[in-house]
Amino acid sequence: MTKPRITRREVLRQAGVSGALALGAPVLGALQAGEHPAGRSPHVPPGILPDLWQISQRAETLLEEITQRGCMFFWEQGDPNTGLVRDRATMQGNSSSRTASIAATGFGLSALCIAAHRKYLPQADVEKRVENCLEFMLDKARNVYGFYFHFLDMQTGDRLFNCELSSIDTVLLMCGVLLCRSYFNNPKIESLANRMYRRMDWNWMLNGGKTPSMGWYPSKGFIPSRWDTYAEMMNMYLMAIGSPTNPLPPSTWDLLKRPEVDFGGVDYISGAPPIFVHQYSHAWCDFRGLRDKHANYFLNSIAATRAHQLFCLTLGSRFPWINQDLWGITASDSRTGYRVWGGPPEDGRIDGTLVPCATGGSLVFLPAECSHVLLSMRERFGNKVYGRYGFIDSFQPQANWFSPDVIGINQGITVLMAENLRTGFVWEQFMKNKEIRRAMELVDFHTDPGIKVLNNEHNG
């Protein structure tokens, strides 16, 4: 991957803003940086670390509403009998599609834990929905060696669109399954979750290689591409290494390539431009204050989010509505279909479309800045961007185009990160899974001597 080499001065020149405005005031809050005596840590210039748990009361109120509305999406757009969640629905909720996404279902199971915890929904009803989902996935939905197809008919579990059997989407599903196992004191849920986890054959997914394949087709076999470069798959590696039945060796962790990007004076590990690659694993796994011999990954995502903010500001000369109040681009709908775009480096023919979950999914990394963007979107565009389930997927202000839909995975990352910012609930519950903790020990995660993590005592 070619590193975009651009200085912070050049970033600010392109953005047309001052250094103080772009980087914010120097602050050491929930992350306090010191020296790193061993291994690599992202270079984060002075003034770039966030005060993690300080958000305004207006932001707090909005995040509560986003969380509640987002949880309602996963409840209303989930099939009561199978628990499978629609890949997308209209912002008003009147969708008749039967296309479910297993990744959206994983986010949905996680959101249902939040809904029960916050008493948005009766716990007995939530537990019944979770039981139905796990039972259906275990016994009726088609799987191969414990892995599932990307898109399923939400009523029958049949494969749709000749899609791939997806290793990463199965992991996102299983993150929700393991969160339910750890949160609910329910022997049936625990038993079903154990059976689903134990039948995942990670050695099969290697397909004779050393790192997992991206997936498999019944007609064509394994996808040649592998999950071998840093992206959103850290939980995949931990889940595989911690497997109680078919584990991958801990040495697999070190086979992951970790390319470095340098943008605006911020350097960090990144294998792909979209910002979601720095969000998904962190939605469940608590990497705060920890590092392995390669990096501190939480600090890495802070750096990646800051670089993404600076990158977006450079786009302001082409798209004047992108500024300190409105920024954030990640995989989303567009006027011409679904696009995987982002940066740095610029990728995907960016057209000025803004994506709320780009900042919603990074709330825990730059809380003040990301919550400010969400507030600005809500206040400036009102019910054009905000409806029954919270924010729509994306919008392009100049073209007066607003996506009619909410996409499950983009809704899910915002809900989980909003909850983690406010209470740390998802992190706390997911880290109760002994297999994940054991895997982190096996790959030598340890307390980062250069970082002090303060408790996120918040009023969520």
pTM for the structure as a whole: 0.90
> What number is the average pLDDT over the span 282-305?
96
Query: How would you classify residue 208: left for phi > 0, otherwise alpha for psi between -120 and 50, otherwise beta?
Result: left
pLDDT at 144 over 70: yes
The reply to whether 131 falls in a domain is yes
The reply to whether 310 falls in a domain is yes
The reply to whether 307 falls in a domain is yes
pLDDT confidence bin for 94, thresholds 50/70/90: confident
Does residue 299 or residue 16 have the better pLDDT? 299
pLDDT at 1 over 60: no
How far from each other are the two terminal CA atoms of the chain, in whole angstroms?
41
Dihedral (Cα; 314, 315, 319, 320), 10-degree rounding: -20
Domain with residue 272: its CATH number is 1.50.10.140
pLDDT at 349 over 80: yes
The reply to whether 460 falls in a domain is no
CA angle (166 as vertex; 84, 191 as ends), nearest 5: 55
| Residue 206 belongs to domain spanning | 52-448
The reply to whether 272 falls in a domain is yes
Classify residue 45 by burial, with Cβ atoms within 10 Å: 0-12, 13-18, 19+: middle
What distances in angstroms separate CA 62 from CA 119, 348, 372, 386, one per listed residue?
18, 31, 10, 11
Q: Determine the Cα–Cα distance for residues 439 and 311; give it in Å rounded to an integer.
A: 35
The reply to whether 455 falls in a domain is no
The reply to whether 458 falls in a domain is no
- Per residue in 357-408, pLDDT tens? 999 999 999 999 999 999 999 999 999 999 999 999 999 999 999 999 999 9
- Phi, psi dihedral angles at 241 (to 5 degrees): -65, -30
Residues 6+ apart with CB under 8 A from 337: none
The reply to whether 230 falls in a domain is yes
Residues facing 221 on adjacent strands: 217
CB 201 within 8 A of CB 151: no
The number of folded domains in the chain is: 1
